[in-house]
Amino acid sequence: MLLTLTNTQPPATDLGFLLHKHPDRAQRYSLSFGAAHVFYPEAGEARCTACLLVDVDPVELVRGKSRAGGGLLDQYVNDRPYAASSFLSVAIGQVFSTALTGRCAARPELAAQPLPLTAHLPVTPARGDEDLVPALFEPLGYEVEIARLPLDKRFLDWGDSPYVSLTLSATITVKDLLSHLYVLLPVLDNAKHYWVGQDELEKLLRHGADWLAHHPDKGRITRRYLRHKWSLAREALARLEIVEDDSSETAPDEADSAGDAVAAPDLTSITAEEVAVEAPLSLNEARIQTVMAELAAAGVETVVDLGCGDGKLLSRLIKERRFTRLVGLDVSARALEIAADRLRLDRLPPRLRERIQLWHGGLTYRDARIEGFDAATVIEVIEHLDENRLATFERVLFQCARPRLVIVTTPNVEYNVNYEFLPAGRLRHPDHRFEWTRAEFASWGQRVAAAFGYAVRFVPVGEVDATVGAPTQMAVFVRSEGSPSAPPPQPSPTRGEGGGA
Amino acid sequence: MKITLPELSLVVLVGASGCGKSTFARRHFRSTEVISSDYCRGMVADDENDQSATPDAFDILHYIAGKRLKGGRLAVVDATNVRPEDRKPLVQLAREYHCLPVAIVFDLPERVCRDRNASRPDRDFGPHVIRNQIGSLHRSQRGLEREGFRYVHRLYSVEEVDAVRIERQPLWNNKKTDAGPFDIIGDVHGCFDELRRLLDQLGYQLDTGGETWRVAHPQGRKLVFVGDLVDRGPQTPDVLRLAMAAVNSGNGYCVVGNHDLKLVKALRGRQVKISHGLAESLEQLGRESETFRAEALKFLDGLVSHYVFDGGRLVVAHAGLREEMHGRGSGQVREFALYGETTGETDEYGLPVRYNWAADYRGRAVVAYGHTPTPRAEWFNNTICLDTGCVFGGALTALRYPERELVTTPALKTYYEPLRPLEPAPTGALSMQQQMDEMLDLADFSGKHILHPRLGHAVTVRPENAAAALEVMTRFAAHPKWLVYLPPTMSPAETSELEGFLEHPREALDYYRQAGIESVVCQEKHMGSRAVVVIARDEAAARTRFGVANEGRGIVYTRTGRRFFNDASLERQLLERLAEALSTAGFWAEFDSDWFVLDCELMPWSLKARELLTRQYAAVGAASRAMLREAHDLIAAAAGRGVEVGTLHDEYAERQRDAQRFTDAYRRYCWSVASIEDVRLAPFHLLASEGKVHADQTHAWHMEQLHRLAAAGSPVVLATECRVVDLADAAACRSLEDWWLGLTQEGGEGIVIKPLAFIPEHRNIQPAVKCRGREYLRIIYGPEYTDGRHLARLRKRSLGGKRALALREFALGLEALERFVAREPLRRVHECVFGVLALESEPVDPRL
């Protein structure tokens, strides 16, 4: 990866003093992950440019003992040797350590003097959010020049690359410029190549001490720098005296980001549009409350939550004593681990513990374990199944398990027009195989109810829009009186005469 | 004195302490067959005489005895067992496992017991103990038969005990040593004309000339009747004559049916309701001689409830039999074999509603049965009901075993009106098996499983891998009915030490030469995405054979069982093109098949991998080119100023070239797809068609067939270049290396080298290895992997894990196909496919 710093204040070669690197020499520095070179492609009176060139050993990235593991670092085909990232911050910290502290033994007055400086990074990650780069640098006084790199000019339909060529110009001290880059490059990349812990917080506070508290985007900077570790981020903000340490503030659970503990380029990071879709957190809450009210009204005691995910519903149900037996079933072993954490399963008192279980299982296989429950909840799950696999799930649930009450929720696609960040025709989540209109959902529900001996009614969940309805739609299936509670016999050859016993 | 024991029985020794039970047991039974309460007491309490440990000791005793009986092994209980309450749980245990409880009673004089105990220092209990035990024994021993013991043997003296010889007798139903071949005949119900025609069709010679008839098959085949020979039909006596001829001559077997049993009762003069066609039998037999009636009665009365043939691989019972009852001999077994299982409800005709036991059947033995008239005999969970209602105007059906072929002859007329009409299944309806297969049971796949493919070693699927497979199957896979195969992973050739190369054909050729292979097939490896194509002649054929509804005529799926195309119309068009090619090449007729399964590579790579390309490959290309170009320019500028930059300039020049080579490498496999005409399908295995898995053909054969397919005109179907190389021919090997070099320099991915035989002679030989080109490997090992410093480290890679996986997945993939072709239940196919997917979740170096 590559960074150039240019000074245009004559005598421009003063840059050499400030960086403690002689303009007429090329120097090499060993780093844990490769090497850094510093040299000056130009060193004139009017203009002097220092170049920091960092070699990242691509084999060591994958094979090295120190590798962080996970994500893209498992890949040899990797942008890490080329794109500005936390590797470059580390290189800045080591190669320009003196300059970063603002000291200049030979010319102390020079170090404190703002100069017309330009920093250039030919390949800087800027995934998705075009506005992030100016939002980070402009408040710090930079003139920002961005040129998006094409992905492959042979295949224009592939769109742009996730990189920009970035040029920052300001009249600023070398120390401030380097501090800004040190903190903001990994923020742009939204990744770290090493474990993020308490010392990372200290680094942020040290290098951001002078400016971060006044930055309008300090919240985002802090979170991304600290890899979305909420507790660290909050401590950081508290120590910057930006926010009160108020634990009542809604915080995503630590468990949500547990999987990101090891830093990796965040390819699956939540995009702006998803954030926007999920923004009214109250929708999730509305869903849970509506479902709980239905369960309470029906007087059920045992519930199996099919596709329980990370256990949001279960964690609420467990607080109600009316539920004597709760089971969460999910196909993702990872989700179940998170659910176990959220529910603090290993710390529950025995009486509570025996009421709840988490099972691994798939919804397109018959599962004898889920038979015999009063109720099944299927919350925001069916849209993750291919439509042509739904028929099997219907039989697994309505024909074999046959609980007395079934609650199914799914997005109402008509409501999507209200999500301004969601392009027309795009579904709310990349894994959604379909999203139904109210009519489609009603027709599905009625067909299922008729086929399996249930009565069904439909309930809107969330704020109801007069034209397009509520964001979530819910179907409540109640097993009809007189309809058998046990599964009907399997296919049988008894299509002819009884043979006569 | 001889004591005859059924080979599978629970032998309960009954007698006071010191009567010699343990000595007796040691003399007549294997030590592993004897479970002694003293021993169990010792196990739980370190003291064989610690009476406080008795309840726990008996828990263990019962547990062990139960496990032995469950496994079909005789068990001997060595405890005093003098009180009815001691024996009751043992009788129950025997019942639970459908074994016969047998009591051997040691009713010896008290003195004998006392003397023996006196000589043993560990038995220091008072004389009253033995007196009490003998008292209990005497009070209760008359009731032993009533308690449920099928046989009771009583021994009254030491001499008698010493004189005992034990003989073990096989159960009547045990015909495991008879492997047939058999022709198993469904319910005849007096339909002699149809029976005669059917035997004719089956090739039997029937001689009805003399007083006793003769029936025999020139190839020594044997008849097996599933019972219900009698009632309703016009010629019950002749049917009996024929069956007797077969059975008495050793050319046949017959199990008892409920009608046969009822006739026996009627002939014996017992009070039975004359209904369901019994009147016809009685009337017809009334016209026969007294001698014949006596013979028929003796024959029918001697019929066994079920037979186990062919090493346990075939079971015949009238109404079917659950697996745990196979080869067992309890009253319950007989009851089940005669009447099957009912739900306790009755239907609108007043007939008992049958519970279809076969729906739960998971056994490996074929169960052939009758009893329930069905429109046609169909395989269902490895069972088959052969009663096709001949007497009701249906047909008489035979199953040829082991061929598993059905032979039928239609009824000449309706002899008896059925209570409930015999409705033929609507056309296009799914078979019972297909209906059942609509929904698989998680219990059959989750957790640890050990699979036994015909090829190769047993494969253990670990629970964590099964969990991973479940996630993929549930979230992404196509309907399991389509997934009759998943392709195995393939290992590269051993790492090459040749300058600048990581892989080279020389190592692959060496590998097979050293494995003793004489010639190999070398195929161009297309760089696209692996695709399995299942294609049927039309949608109806797909429904009939695969049991899928509204899913079109076929499917293209990925190596993880996911539908290849998001765009359904593109898939449909591709299948149409392929079907046309199959028609033009005459494959449908030539292979006499309505469907084919093909292993293919589908191009372009960018069709499936676009996300990966844009996110990773093209992104790295863009980043590397931009950064290295600028770096190189800056270094040049510094050098131009006279700064000593050393080798940096040359290094970055080469790195910049590598970045361009990397970009060129991935670009070759990308083109935009505007229509189906831009897609290329290169099939390389013609895996299976009706009745056949073509793994018995050489790879040269496969290539030849597929070249014919490609030549059939559609540009969408692509031929794969290939060569057969004799490994002993040095010149041919060199020429192959040159071919590879040429292919890969022009951007080809590389080649695949396989032994000529599809299934290598030895199960530890890799079915295929790949040799990837130097340029192609940039998209695996990174743009700059050819740099000497990198290459040296990359050469350290281990193929062992990958190769072990490849062997196991290869065996499982073919096993899945074989089971599908043999029309086994989907569960049995799916467990193999699921196994491949589970193995794929094992951590191996993804670069291999």
Residue with token string 């170009």? B629
Domain range list for chain A: 2-260, 278-479
Q: Output the pLDDT for position A489.
A: 52
Nearest alpha-carbon partner for A96 in A34, A3, A231:
A3
Q: Which two tokens stand for residue A277?
A: 């879709």
Residue B673 lies in a domain: no
Helices (H), B310-431: 331-339
Q: Output the pLDDT for position A491.
A: 55
Contacts of A53 in chain B (CB under 8 A): 631, 634-635
Asked: is A278-479 a CATH 3.40.50.150 domain? The reply is yes
Same-domain pairing of B568 and B546: yes
Task: Verify whether the Cβ–Cβ distance B627 to A40 is below 8 Å.
Answer: no
Q: Could you tell me which residue, A263 or B269, shows the higher pLDDT?
A: B269
Task: Verify whether the Cβ–Cβ distance A388 to B258 is below 8 Å.
Answer: no
SS3 for B270? coil
Of the residues B169, B190, B208, which one is the last residue of a structural domain?
A: B169
pTM of the model: 0.86
Same-domain pairing of B707 and B789: no
Nearest alpha-carbon partner for B789 in B634, B658, B620, B621:
B658
**Distance separating alpha carbons of residues A342 and A356, to the nearest angstrom:** 13
Task: Verify whether the Cβ–Cβ distance B474 to A364 is below 8 Å.
Answer: yes
Contacts of B276 in chain A (CB under 8 A): 500-501
Q: Which residues of chain B register pLDDT less than 50? A: none
**Residue in chain B lying closest to A57 (CA):** B790
CA distance B467 to chain A (A): 7
B759-793: pLDDT as tens digits: 998 889 999 999 999 999 999 999 999 998 899 98
Same-domain pairing of B652 and B778: no
CA distance B550 to chain A (A): 9
Structural domain total, chain B:
6
**Distance separating alpha carbons of residues B541 and B89, to the nearest angstrom:** 56
Q: Output the pLDDT for position A411.
A: 95
Sign, CA torsion B560/B566/B567/B569: positive
**Residue in chain A lying closest to B438 (CA):** A392
Average pLDDT over chain A, rounded to whole? 84
Q: What percent of chain A has pLDDT over 70?
A: 86
Q: Output the pLDDT for position A269.
A: 37
Judged against a pLDDT cut of 70, whether residue A375 lies above it is answered with yes
Same-domain pairing of B239 and B322: yes
Burial class (CB in 10 A: 0-12, 13-18, 19+), B37: buried
Q: Which of A59, A83, A388 sits opposite B793 (nearest CB)?
A: A59
Same-domain pairing of B234 and B325: yes
Judged against a pLDDT cut of 60, whether residue A252 lies above it is answered with no
Q: Output the pLDDT for position A37.
A: 96
Question: Which range of residues forms the domain containing residue B645?
Answer: 606-667
Task: Verify whether the Cβ–Cβ distance A362 to B275 is below 8 Å.
Answer: no
Q: What is the DSSP letter of B235?
A: -
Residue B675 lies in a domain: no
Of the residues B169, B191, B224, which one is the last residue of a structural domain?
A: B169
Same-domain pairing of B310 and B252: yes
Q: Output the pLDDT for position A271.
A: 41
Residue B433 lies in a domain: no
**Distance separating alpha carbons of residues A20 and A36, to the nearest angstrom:** 15
Residue B335 lies in a domain: yes
Same-domain pairing of B256 and B333: yes
Size of the A and B interface in Cβ pairs below 8 Å: 267
CATH number at residue B126: 3.40.50.300
Residue B846 lies in a domain: no
A191-243: pLDDT as tens digits: 877 777 788 888 888 888 889 888 998 888 888 888 777 677 777 777 765 54
Contacts of A2 in chain B (CB under 8 A): 627, 630-631, 634
A335-346: pLDDT as tens digits: 999 999 999 988
In this structure, the strands spanning B75-78 and A325-330 are unpaired
For residue B753, the cross-strand partners are B522, B769
Same-domain pairing of B393 and B301: yes
Q: What percent of chain A has pLDDT over 90?
A: 58
Q: Output the pLDDT for position A281.
A: 54
**Distance separating alpha carbons of residues A208 and A180, to the nearest angstrom:** 8
B358-416: pLDDT as tens digits: 988 999 999 999 999 999 899 999 999 999 999 999 999 999 999 999 999 999 999 99
A108-157: pLDDT as tens digits: 888 889 999 999 999 999 887 778 999 999 999 999 999 999 999 999 88
**Distance separating alpha carbons of residues B648 and B665, to the nearest angstrom:** 25
**For chain B, how are helix, strand and coil distributed in percent, rounded to 5?**
45, 20, 35
ipTM of the complex: 0.83
Contacts of B643 in chain A (CB under 8 A): 24-26, 39-40
Same-domain pairing of B123 and B46: yes
Amino acid letter for position B564: F
Residue B153 lies in a domain: yes
A267-307: pLDDT as tens digits: 333 344 444 454 455 788 899 999 999 999 999 999 999 99
Contacts of B440 in chain A (CB under 8 A): 365-366
Same-domain pairing of B267 and B307: yes
DSSP line for A64-107: -TT---SGGGG-SS-STTTS-SHHHHHHHHHHTHHHHHT--SS-
Task: Verify whether the Cβ–Cβ distance A501 to B641 is below 8 Å.
Answer: no
Nearest alpha-carbon partner for B563 in B493, B647, B475, B642:
B475
Task: Verify whether the Cβ–Cβ distance A333 to B277 is below 8 Å.
Answer: no
Of the residues B169, B189, B222, which one is the last residue of a structural domain?
A: B169
Same-domain pairing of B243 and B313: yes
What band does A487 get if pLDDT is binned at 50, 70 and 90?
low
Mean pLDDT, residues A65-77 taken together: 59
Q: What is the DSSP letter of A171?
A: E
Q: Output the pLDDT for position A256.
A: 36
Q: Output the pLDDT for position B830.
A: 97
Residue B441 lies in a domain: no
Task: Verify whether the Cβ–Cβ distance B667 to A82 is below 8 Å.
Answer: no
Contacts of A83 in chain B (CB under 8 A): 623, 627
Nearest alpha-carbon partner for B490 in B829, B702, B799:
B799
Judged against a pLDDT cut of 90, whether residue A25 lies above it is answered with yes
Judged against a pLDDT cut of 50, whether residue A251 lies above it is answered with no
Q: Output the pLDDT for position A486.
A: 65
Q: Which of B436, B617, B667 sits opposite A154 (nearest CB)?
A: B667
Asked: is A2-260 a CATH 3.30.479.10 domain? The reply is no
Q: Output the pLDDT for position A194.
A: 77
CATH number at residue B250: 3.60.21.10
Sign, CA torsion B273/B275/B278/B283: positive
